[in-house]
């Protein structure tokens, strides 16, 4: 099956630093990747849609200068949280679109737990 990895799985950083999270599709090419944010026991909130070779599309209320997304290849998208603050602490999950099946299924990475001190 399609596998999506995320790195790192956990990161703790000081306020004001920047953190980069990588999302990779390991055995398929993903023209579209999605970045979500999830608070404890809450739903997944779509932050942005990342298309290979073009600018990401951000959802309303998501600061594009704060959450930089780069989709440089068909297997890698990165999310950089710039000048992180404690309120940015969250579970960040990426997913990749699979065009292989008929179900428009998204394959999710294992998530990255970000804690900003």
Partner 1 sequence: GQSLEQPSEVTAVEGAIVQINCTYQTSGFYGLSWYQQHDGGAPTFLSYNALDGLEETGRFSSFLSRSDSYGYLLLQELQMKDSASYFCAPNAGNMLTFGGGTRLMVKP
Structure tokens, 86: 């404690």
Question: Whose Cβ is closer to partner 1: residue 43's or residue 54's?
Answer: 43
86 phi and psi angles, rounded to 5 deg: -50, -35
Q: Judged by CB under 8 A, does residue 109 bind partner 1?
A: yes
- Give residues with Cβ within 8 angstroms of 98, minimum separation 6: 2, 28, 30, 105, 106, 107
Q: How many CB atoms lie within 10 A of CB 57?
A: 15
Within 4-63, the residues that bind partner 1 by CB under 8 A are 32, 34, 36, 41-46, 49
Three-class DSSP category at 76: strand
Binding letters toward partner 1, positions 64-93, x by CB under 8 A: -----------------------------x
Of residues 92, 111, 114, 116, which one binds partner 1 by CB under 8 A? 111
Of residues 61, 65, 87, 104, which one binds partner 1 by CB under 8 A? 104
- Scanning 14-22, 60-68, 69-77, 106-114 for contacts with partner 1 by CB under 8 A, the matching segment is 106-114
HSE (side-chain half, CA atoms, 13 Å) at 28 = 18
Structure tokens, 93: 């999950």
Structure tokens, 1: 């099956």
Kindly list the residues in this chain that would bind partner 1 in the complex (CB under 8 A).
Answer: 32, 34, 36, 41-46, 49, 93, 95, 97, 102-111
């Amino acid at each position: 099956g399609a596998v999506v990895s995320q790195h790192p799985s956990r990161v703790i950083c000081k306020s004001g630093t920047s953190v980069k999270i990588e999302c990779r599709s390991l055995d398929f090419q993903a023209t579209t990747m999605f970045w979500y944010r999830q608070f404890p026991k809450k739903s997944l909130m779509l932050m942005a849609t990342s298309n290979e070779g073009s600018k990401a599309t951000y959802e309303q209320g998501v600061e594009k200068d704060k959450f930089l997304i780069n989709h440089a290849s068909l297997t890698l998208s990165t999310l950089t949280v710039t000048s992180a603050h404690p309120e940015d602490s969250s579970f960040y999950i990426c997913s990749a679109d699979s065009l292989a099946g008929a179900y428009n299924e998204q394959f999710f990475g294992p998530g990255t737990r970000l804690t900003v001190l």
